[in-house]
Structure 1
Amino acid sequence: MLEDMAIRGLREETQRDYIRFVRSFAAFLGRSPDAATAEDIRRFQVHQAESGVQPPTINCSVSALRFFFTVALDRSDLSRRLVLVRHPRKLPNVLSVEEVGRLLEAAPGPKYKAALGTAYGAGLRVSEVAALKVGDIDSTRMLIRVEQGKGRKDRNAMLSPQLLELLRLWWREGKRRNVMLPHGWLFPGRNCLEPMSTR
């Protein structure tokens, strides 16, 4: 299964999750999961539902087990037995302008203020913010280049004048502290050769 995931270029986090879900299924069965039956799959999904496992987690386990049965074992007959759980999609709570302002003001320094501002202002995920390099900021075209974001896709995000000013403040402070390298990370970690942690 690990080889099959590597061949298909699944991310490390995805591989870890898939292995964790297959292990969970094996623990439920009490035997090797390659000996599972259609009834075992049904019992496992009933067990998940009765145990209070949330729909997104159940659906992740379905993806992992479908990969396991279809790709690793070539048993698509079993993968078809797995059922996705429908769940209501709710709109996320969106912070007001005042709340965002208070959040940015509470940041412990210019680096974190700029990082939070980038996440909010450009709509980037935390992993995308941490992976930004200095050269990804294009102030001429007012764009932020996001390389290998979700789904390993490159994309551009809009750069507002306010965010550019915030990034420039951080740039000056980072240069003053000697943590900003010419082609390095926009938000370096404790070691300036490494990116800031997503935590």
Structure 2
Amino acid sequence: MSDAESVDLLLPGAPDVRAAAITWLDGLATERRLSPNTVEAYRRDLRQFLAHLAKGGTNPDIPTLIGLKPRDVRGFMSARRQDGVGGRSLMRALAGLRSFARHLDREGHGSVAALSAVRSPKVERRLPRPLPVAAAIAMASPDIRLGEDRPSWVLSRDAAVLALLYGSGLRISEALGLTRRDAPVGGVDAVTVVGKGQKTRSVPAIAQVQAAVEEYLKLCPYALPPEGPLFVGAKGGPLSPRIVQLAVASMRGALGLPSTATPHALRHSFASHLLARQGDLRAIQELLGHASLATTQVYTKVDSARLLDAFDAAHPRARAS
């Protein structure tokens, strides 16, 4: 069974809606190059929306969608909230439905005006929580896990991955997407990664990152072909992000860190610690691969919050108030 046939079976709604959905989802994956997880989330949101409309006793077709009223969309959002869905997920769902509506409009079916008339739910933006410098450095060292029953090459592998997250600000998917040819060794002081939207960027690899990768390659028991993955699992296949997440979880207790200390927190720490050292915001944006400076500007709030905490803890008048 093809992917298109699978989508057709899983989506409720009339045949014209299912056919339009297949074309839309295929375009998200192939033309816009959204991640498989994002495409699946949008498919799930559309399925839930169509199922909600079908509860009224009609099988929703494209004319039904075109004729929707804002109250119909609000009713769906309200039902999802009653199911315990948070504002962030609702915002994503509405974004996906609007994307589908734009697809219908482009295909000449007409505008789903109700989706434009409903405001997106307000979501408080959660600030990233950077790790203390000492803890971030410790995570990128195999020494912190010497007591674990793991082969030394595995400890070095995990340390090299985490060194790339903290020392170069990579996403975990970007680090695990590197090939052996990409390795910053032998005098190579940068890595080229493919980020969100398949955008390529070059990021410096400092000496400590290079040393961590070199140590891993020296100990790795597998022959790594140039175009194969740089980081491999216990059986020589591509390394799973879950393995790196478990490695970080095993360190949290030893370092006294909260559950928010994740692999992605190392990337946040990279940006926050650079900013604390007077790093240029535009340069940090380029290093992180953010499409918008507004995304990077979140770190200015993080840095200010940390300074205020330090002020409250240390200033005599702050303690007295």
The answer to whether the superposition gives a TM-score over 0.5 is yes
The CA deviation string for residues 26-55 of structure 1, in whole angstroms up to 9 with x for no partner, is: 232325454342221111122334444222
Q: CA deviation at 1:74?
A: 4.2
Q: CA deviation at 1:191?
A: 4.9
Match of 2:22 in 1: 2
Q: CA deviation at 1:173?
A: 1.1
- 1:2 aligned partner, one-letter code: I
Q: CA deviation at 1:83?
A: 2.4
- 1:53 aligned partner, one-letter code: V
More helix by share: 2
1: CA distance between counterparts of 2:157 and 2:184? 18
Q: Which ranges in structure 1 are unaligned for 5 or more consecutive residues?
A: none
Match of 2:12 in 1: none
2: CA distance between counterparts of 1:74 and 1:59? 23
CA contact (8 A) 1:18 1:64 kept: yes
- 1:188 aligned partner, one-letter code: V
Q: Which of 6, 23, 27 matches 2:47?
A: 23
For 2:191, what is the secondary structure of its paired residue? strand
Match of 1:14 in 2: 38
Match of 1:96 in 2: 132
The residue correspondences of 1:102-181 to structure 2 (distance < 5 A) are: 102-104=138-140, 105-106=144-145, 109-139=155-185, 140=187, 142-147=189-194, 149-174=195-220, 177-181=221-225
CA contact (8 A) 1:22 1:33 kept: no
CA contact (8 A) 2:179 2:226 kept: no
Match of 1:44 in 2: 76
For 2:117, what is the secondary structure of its paired residue? coil
For 1:132, what is the secondary structure of its paired residue? coil
- 1:69 aligned partner, one-letter code: A
Of 150-159 and 136-145, the range deviating more from structure 2? 136-145
Match of 1:189 in 2: 233
CA contact (8 A) 1:145 1:157 kept: yes
Matched, 1:75 2:99: no
Q: CA deviation at 1:189?
A: 3.3
Q: Which ranges in structure 2 are unaligned for 5 or more consecutive residues?
A: 1-20, 243-321
For 2:218, what is the secondary structure of its paired residue? helix
CA contact (8 A) 1:143 1:158 kept: yes
Structure 1 vs Structure 2: percent identity of aligned residues?
Answer: 25
Q: CA deviation at 1:156?
A: 1.4
Q: CA deviation at 1:164?
A: 0.7
Q: Which has the larger radius of gyration?
A: 2
2: CA distance between counterparts of 1:143 and 1:74? 49
Structure-2 change in CA distance of 1:16 and 1:32 (3 Å) = farther
CA contact (8 A) 2:101 2:111 kept: yes
2: CA distance between counterparts of 1:99 and 1:190? 26
Q: TM-score, normalised by structure 2?
A: 0.55
Q: TM-score, normalised by structure 1?
A: 0.84
2: CA distance between counterparts of 1:52 and 1:155? 39
Match of 1:86 in 2: 122
Structure-2 change in CA distance of 1:32 and 1:172 (3 Å) = farther
Q: CA deviation at 1:167?
A: 0.6
For 1:172, what is the secondary structure of its paired residue? helix
- 2:160 aligned partner, one-letter code: A
Let me know the Cα RMSD of the aligned residues.
Answer: 2.4
- 1:6 aligned partner, one-letter code: D
